[in-house]
Amino acid sequence: MGIGVSVLIGKKLERGDTIGIVAPASIETEENIEMGIGRLENLGFKIKKGKHIYDKWGYFAGRDEDRAEDINHMFTDKDVKMVLCVRGGYGTMRLLPYLDLKKIKNNPKIFMGYSDITILLNYLFEKEGLITFHGPMLNSKLNIKETQEAFLSNLLEGSKKYSIKNPTDIPLVSNTEKSIEGRMVGGNLSLICSSLGTNYEIVTRNRILFIEEVDEDPYKVDRMLTQLLFSRKLQECRGFILGQFTNCNEDQKKNKFSLKEVIENRILRLNKPTLMNFMCGHGDPKLILPIGAKAKLNCKNLSIDILEPVCK
């Protein structure tokens, strides 16, 4: 995939449309699932539950084949307009061999998740050109104003070009005033690294790479970024969007680097246009990035300009 390539996009949502719920990774409580469904219903959407979303198999929400079956079914179900993941955690990578890519390609739909879902977001774009969405899931706090606004604006109005900015009270920061264009890829740093050396390895050449993380000490972030440097994933991309690094800056102690110093040493020294402190990741509020979409990293205006429709 590259700039100018033909991509697949799903139909935008309308109030009253049906959202299909799948659980590709870890187990979620029935209480939290029902709470999330209630929030979506209050926003005016109908819900169709995946057959296996309440399953439990070890630490997974069902067997690999069953979790994949729910995804395959939601893409072929004519009543479902969007596929939304319950939560992340761990397990998404295990179901990739069981996905029916032909069914997904022939039935493009909005697909959204984050964290462990990172591997699936990028895989569906890379293999089939499907624009996917790094954004809130069923267990996210969709009642937060900025998160809810981002959710609705992307899904109801994504058939036109638009710009993404942080909430006014949370400043974006950049290392330059230059602007670059490219297709956006990325997500959770741990999952990006987990893809290396596999058939599902992330492609960053000429892309804008988005990175976020949660609950990792600075030295672990350093280790993962160094792995991406050694595999030339950082050198090959055009620029960076750095999202939320939630709970990643341990109390400062003698002879330890801060997260800020790690970012400066591993990313900013590459002198590529970079937007930092973007509200997308494991914290709140949660903004949405369309993975695979052609975008302009507007470092002067501190915005991410989406240059093509992400829904039809």
The residues that are catalytic are 115, 212, 282
* Bridge partners, 211 (sequence order): 187, 242
Of 27, 241, 289, whose CA–CA distance to 138 is shortest? 27
Distance (Å, rounded) from C-alpha 254 to C-alpha 101? 51
3-state secondary structure of 67: helix
Tokens 């809810």 found at: 148
Neighbours of 311 (CB within 10 A): 23
Distance of CA 175 to the CA centre of its chain: 23
Distance (Å, rounded) from C-alpha 39 to C-alpha 46? 11
Torsion of CA 32, 36, 38, 40, to 10 degrees: -170
Tokens in use for 54? 């309440």
Distance (Å, rounded) from C-alpha 87 to C-alpha 119? 14
Contacts of 137 (CB under 8 A, 6+ apart): 36, 84, 85, 86, 87, 88, 112, 113, 114, 117
Distance (Å, rounded) from C-alpha 175 to C-alpha 204? 20
Tokens in use for 225? 């970024």
